[in-house]
Amino acid sequence: MRGLRATLATRIDQDLDAAVDDFAQEALMKILDGLESFRGESRFTTWAQKIAVHVAFTELRRRRWKDVSLQDLLETPNGNDFTPSFLSDPNAAPEADVTQRDLMALILELIETELTERQRTALLAVVQGGMPLDEVARRMGTNRNALYKLIHDARQRLQKRLEEKLGLTAADVLATFEKP
């Protein structure tokens, strides 16, 4: 509990002790269930602490996304700007900015017209919304592996259509958004 308290002190604003107690109890159940998996490569307390921290972080991620709907992640404030923040460059040259905007408009059009509703929801929730795969899978009533495959298929379909329409490979698209 001391290690959990120190790890979570900067991440939890209110009632740290209650949260640490809850996480420690949940971790203890996981530790007891997986006791046979302890290989002795580290101290037992180190192994147990790692499990406790993993349990706490998993629960904190769940709490973070608890009240966020998938639909909220799919809608943008202005209704049409899909550009993920990691691709946008506020300091881009005007020519590069226009090229990037045009390419993103085409990608958005392809997402809307070429993907199934389920593929579109999964892809946008993960890429645009930043929601963890496990949370999207839970909300879509599937598992992580099936969701990964769904997103993989969607990305392949988009890559194929970009190549057919513009002759662009995935590397070409990424190069368009590279920062100089």
Alpha-helix runs per DSSP H in 34-123: 44-65, 70-74, 94-114, 117-123
- Amino acid, res. 23: F
Question: Which residues make Cβ contacts (< 8 Å) with residue 72, sequence separation at least 6?
Answer: 129
* SS3 of residue 1 by DSSP: coil
User: Smallest Cα–Cα separation from 80: which of 111, 118, 108, 106?
Assistant: 108
pLDDT at 143: 93
How far does Cα 47 stand from its chain's mean position? 26
**Mean pLDDT of all residues belonging to the chain:** 82
Q: For 103-121, how does the pLDDT look when each residue is reduced to its tens digit (9 = 90+)?
A: 888 888 888 899 999 999 9
H or E element: which one contains 3? Answer: helix 2-8
pLDDT at 86: 45
1/150 Cα distance (integer angstroms): 39
- Per-position b or e across 70-105, b if 16+ CB within 10 A of its CB: beebeeeeeeeebbeeebeeeebeeebeeebeebbe
How far does Cα 141 stand from its chain's mean position? 17
153/114 Cα distance (integer angstroms): 11
pLDDT at 114: 92
Domains defined along the chain, listed by start: 2-65 (no CATH), 70-176 (1.10.10.10)
- Crossing angle of helices 133-140 and 44-65, rounded to 10°: 60
Q: For 61-110, how does the pLDDT look when each residue is reduced to its tens digit (9 = 90+)?
A: 777 777 666 666 555 555 544 555 445 555 656 777 787 788 888 888 88
Q: Which two tokens stand for residue 140?
A: 């879509």
Q: For 117-176, how does the pLDDT look when each residue is reduced to its tens digit (9 = 90+)?
A: 999 999 988 887 778 888 889 889 999 999 999 999 999 999 998 888 888 887 887 777
